[in-house]
Amino acid sequence: MMHYLPNILFLIALAAGIGYFTMNIKKIIRNVKLGRDVDVSDHKKERWNNVVRIALGQSKMVVRPIAGILHVIVYVGFIIINIEVLEIIIDGIFGTHRIFAFLGPVYDVLIASFEILALLVFVSVVFFWTRRNIQRIRRFWAREMTSWPKNDANYILYFEMVLMLLFLTMNAADLQLQQMGADHYVQAGSFPVSQYIAPLFDGMSEGSIIAIERTAWWLHILGILIFLNYLYWSKHLHIILAFPNVYLGRVQPKGQFKNLESVKKEVELMMDPNADPFAAPAETEEEGAEPEKFGASDVMDLNQVQLLNAYTCTECGRCTSECPANQTGKKLSPRKIMMDTRDRLEEVGANINKNGKFVDDGKQLLDDYILREELWACTTCNACVEACPVSIDPLSIIMDMRQYLVMEQSAAPNELNVAMTNIENNGAPWPYNQMDRLNWKNEA
Amino acid sequence: MNETIQVPTMAEYMAEGKKPEVLFWVGCAGSFDDRAKKITKAFVKLLHNAGVDFAVLGTEESCTGDPAKRAGNEFLFQMQAMTNIEVLNGYEIEKIVTACPHCFNTIKNEYPGLGGNYKVMHHTQFLKSLLEEGRLKVEGGKFKGKKITFHDPCYLGRANGEYEAPRDLLRKLEVELVEMKRCKSRGLCCGAGGAQMFKEPEEGKKDVNIERTEEALGLNPSVIAAACPFCNTMMTDGVKGKEKEDQTAVMDIAELIAQAEDL
């Protein structure tokens, strides 16, 4: 029985790691579903194209070449090194060692590429850390990047550094043991990187090196499981959510803002010369049903894609650094719009966990998180939408919240009220008479 | 001389039982703003020059609703849109050209969902098509060899992916086209979009149009070319603010072509 103890411990750790992660993913799905339904059944081909080009192909990341290429290395490393995780899991469950060793030369190539990628990932992550903490690139030090967001970013980098070091240490010890002809350690793999670490173990006893190999092996896989569960608490969720998020991202021209269906019905009725102004409300409307709220003041008013956007955001700040309002010192930061949305959604989620259903907490996304000043600073220029490497649309949230302010609260800035009154009365945002619209042709 | 230009209206065409090739949607700025009216007139000259059979709605035209929509007033937007669509559909309009990227974007992208389906072109796209059809001649005239930078309007560029039509026209004028660092899909807004044109900016360190003008002036161009009446206003204000109006002019692409040809 004792013989199987490591296998059992491994299974428990694996089940706990995956189980807890699944539980949290379910929470995310539940929270996203608090948003309004949105039809995303259109443009299937274009959506898949986007996934291939933007998500898999990282096309938007390389717009900024340095960060882009470093990110591609970490991303490719992450995906490919995961093949090794598969072997580790099988070994862990069945007590085997390097189960894929039978692949022979193919295995050599695999292990060699994992090692080279691990080194490249490590170096890239060190670069990332330097850019963030030494070079202090402006977008990483904005107003919203304090406390948790700032620490979170660094924790992720430390995690990745440690995981890569553990992986290479594990291999180095393994190589040393292979060369010593240790029992159980099959001659397999090619170790272009860890061969330079292995000499550190010269002169150590087989038992000590086995202890090092096992420790590194265990810490590496436990580290991966911990990291997996860290995702839920972190901005790092993008490694999973980027793919669905890009699929669900905008496929219409960026300038096309959605036309509110609820408004359309009312406007059509108003403009219909045959409509009876004194008619009773249409029978389809349920008795006592609340009229649909225009725009958004809280996360439940946003749609599900917008809420997924919030969980997908990895706070890279490319949106904010391209934003004309932010560049000229206004309070608006599109990244903060996304972070606020997620924070509020998490707050609502915690409220539901506690009470079984959402109980009014006297707070909302508007004012308690996102300020009116931020919303009114937006020029709707779409620079943030264009900049996002994973197809997040902060502008749509800004627009929905403006709609709430204007249509539910009549709380537009006064000059805008004047312009809108002009449009309503004269058909132009300025106080000119519509009858003078063609006067220009007679002016010298 | 008080030159009156020939600008037929749809009502006049209708009375004669005719249909124009294209409707010229002038827009509020093009109709009322003194600076933008010059763009309107330059474009009309080009239309005449190319022999385009066009008409305007005149007093039947009304705001597309763009600023209302971007300000969050979907009601007002849809009221405007549906009123305009009724007029446009009444005249059985099929093709629309406009010199305002905001009108262009709204009619092209947001009217179809409300029952207005037209082929909509920005004037730079339309001028380019006239050029390709051989109806309009654009060649290096007055601006040949002059250093010119083009400021991308958000609602033509990022919003609708049109970066090349205005640049193609500038190349035809044989100007020295220089690009700002923030251009095309990464172009910086002039600061007027999203109804900002009609309000004071929020508190900050700088106005957006100053930031953009500084970038453009950094290239020392003789002309900052624009393709939007609002960008034009913002950049003109910026250049004036920097007291550079003697060295650098802000001109619409239509004005550049019209002036190059001395029309």
Q: Which of A30-39, A276-285, B160-169 has the lowest mean pLDDT?
A: A276-285
pLDDT at A390 over 90: yes
pLDDT at A403 over 70: yes
The strand pair at B54-55 and B147-150 is best described as: unpaired
Same domain, B28 and B123: yes
Same domain, B191 and B156: yes
Same domain, B146 and B126: no
- Mean pLDDT, chain A, rounded, equals 92
pLDDT of residue A273: 76
Same domain, B146 and B244: yes
Segment A67-91 shows an average pLDDT of 91
pLDDT of residue A54: 96
d(CA A265, CA B98): 29
pLDDT of residue A277: 61
Residue A407 with chain B: CB contacts under 8 Å: 72-75
CB contact under 8 A, B203 and A271: no
Q: Are B80 and B163 in contact (CB under 8 A)?
A: no
d(CA B97, CA B83): 19
Percentage with pLDDT > 70 across chain A: 96
**Where are the extended beta strands (E) located within B14-146?**
22-25, 54-55, 95-98, 119-122
pLDDT at B131 over 70: yes
Question: In the numeric block, which tokens belong to residue A440?
Answer: 């220009």
Closest CA to B186 of B146, B150, B158, B220: B158
pLDDT of residue B4: 65
pLDDT at A7 over 60: yes
CB contact under 8 A, B7 and A441: yes
pLDDT of residue A183: 85
Closest CA to A309 of A250, A408, A393, A367: A393
Convert the pLDDT of each residue in B184-209 to its tens digit: 999 999 999 999 999 999 999 999 99
Question: Helix, strand, coil: what percent of chain A each, to 5?
Answer: 70, 0, 30
Confidence of residue B158 (pLDDT cuts 50, 70, 90): very high
Q: CA dist B241 to B75, B207, B238, B245, B251, Å?
A: 37, 11, 5, 9, 17
Return the amino acid letter for A1. M
Total number of domains constituting chain B: 2
Same domain, B60 and B112: yes
Asked if residue B15 is part of any domain, the answer here is: yes
Confidence of residue B2 (pLDDT cuts 50, 70, 90): very low
Nearest to B206 among A328, A373, A378 (CB): A328
Residue A333 with chain B: CB contacts under 8 Å: none
In chain A, domain spans: 2-32+64-233, 261-272+294-432
A161-172 residues labelled b (16+ CB within 10 A) or e (exposed): bebbbbbbbbbb
Distance from the B24 Cα atom to the nearest Cα atom in chain A, whole angstroms: 12
CB contact under 8 A, A440 and B41: yes
pLDDT of residue B1: 38
CATH label of the domain that carries residue B48: 3.40.50
Q: Are B204 and B227 in contact (CB under 8 A)?
A: no
Distance from the A428 Cα atom to the nearest Cα atom in chain B, whole angstroms: 5
Distance from the A393 Cα atom to the nearest Cα atom in chain B, whole angstroms: 13
d(CA A145, CA A141): 6
pLDDT of residue B169: 96
Pick the last residue of a domain from B89, B113, B131.
B131
Confidence of residue A81 (pLDDT cuts 50, 70, 90): confident
pLDDT of residue A242: 96
Residue A416 with chain B: CB contacts under 8 Å: 71, 195, 198-199
Residue A415 with chain B: CB contacts under 8 Å: 198-200
Percentage with pLDDT > 70 across chain B: 98
Pick the last residue of a domain from B88, B104, B131.
B131
Segment A237-253 shows an average pLDDT of 96
CB contact under 8 A, A379 and B193: yes
Segment A276-300 shows an average pLDDT of 71
Q: Are B59 and A438 in contact (CB under 8 A)?
A: yes
- H or E element in which residue A27 lies: helix A5-32
Return the amino acid letter for B132. E
Q: Which residues 6+ apart lie within 8 Å of A191 measured at CB?
A: A111, A112, A115, A171, A172, A175, A198
Distance from the B221 Cα atom to the nearest Cα atom in chain A, whole angstroms: 22
Edge to edge, the sheet with strand B119-122 lists: B54-55, B22-25, B95-98, B119-122
Convert the pLDDT of each residue in B220-248 to its tens digit: 999 999 999 999 999 999 999 999 999 99
Asked if residue B3 is part of any domain, the answer here is: no
Same domain, B15 and B115: yes
Distance from the B244 Cα atom to the nearest Cα atom in chain A, whole angstroms: 21
Specify the 3-state DSSP secondary structure of B1: coil
Cα-based angle B4, B6, B8 (whole degrees, multiple of 5): 130
Asked if residue B1 is part of any domain, the answer here is: no
Neighbours of B22 (CB within 10 A): 18
pLDDT at B121 over 90: yes
pLDDT of residue B141: 81
Q: Are A390 and B24 in contact (CB under 8 A)?
A: no
Q: Which fold does the domain A261-272+294-432 belong to in CATH?
A: Fumarate Reductase Iron-sulfur Protein; Chain B, domain 2 (1.10.1060)
Percentage with pLDDT > 90 across chain B: 94
Specify the 3-state DSSP secondary structure of A303: strand
pLDDT at A282 over 60: no
Confidence of residue A278 (pLDDT cuts 50, 70, 90): low
Q: Tally A–B CB contacts below 8 A.
A: 225
CB contact under 8 A, A438 and B7: yes
Confidence of residue A279 (pLDDT cuts 50, 70, 90): low
pLDDT at A443 over 90: no
Convert the pLDDT of each residue in A324-363 to its tens digit: 999 999 999 999 999 999 999 999 999 999 999 999 999 9
Asked if residue B63 is part of any domain, the answer here is: yes
Asked if residue B2 is part of any domain, the answer here is: no
Asked if residue B177 is part of any domain, the answer here is: yes
CB contact under 8 A, A403 and B74: yes
Q: Are B162 and B133 in contact (CB under 8 A)?
A: no
- Chain A nearest-CA residue for B3: A444
d(CA A430, CA B27): 12
Closest CA to A307 of A34, A32, A38, A26: A32
Nearest to A437 among B61, B186, B195 (CB): B61
pLDDT of residue A292: 82
Segment B38-63 shows an average pLDDT of 96
Convert the pLDDT of each residue in B54-109 to its tens digit: 999 999 999 999 999 999 999 999 999 999 999 999 999 999 999 999 999 999 99
Pick the last residue of a domain from B88, B107, B131.
B131
Residue A42 with chain B: CB contacts under 8 Å: none
- H or E element in which residue B66 lies: helix B66-71
DSSP-assigned states of every residue in B205-244:
SS-HHHHHHHHHHTT--SEEEESSHHHHHHHHHHHHHTT-
Closest CA to B202 of B106, B194, B124: B194
Length of chain A (residues): 444
d(CA A146, CA A148): 6
Confidence of residue A272 (pLDDT cuts 50, 70, 90): confident
Asked if residue B240 is part of any domain, the answer here is: yes
Nearest to A429 among B28, B61, B205 (CB): B28
CB contact under 8 A, A386 and B208: no
- Chain B nearest-CA residue for A397: B72
Look up the domain containing B84 and give its range: 10-131
Specify the 3-state DSSP secondary structure of B46: helix
Question: In the numeric block, which tokens belong to residue A148?
Answer: 């948790």
Largest CA distance in chain A: 101
Same domain, B120 and B188: no
pLDDT at A290 over 60: yes
Asked if residue B229 is part of any domain, the answer here is: yes
Specify the 3-state DSSP secondary structure of A300: helix
Question: Helix, strand, coil: what percent of chain B each, to 5?
Answer: 45, 10, 40
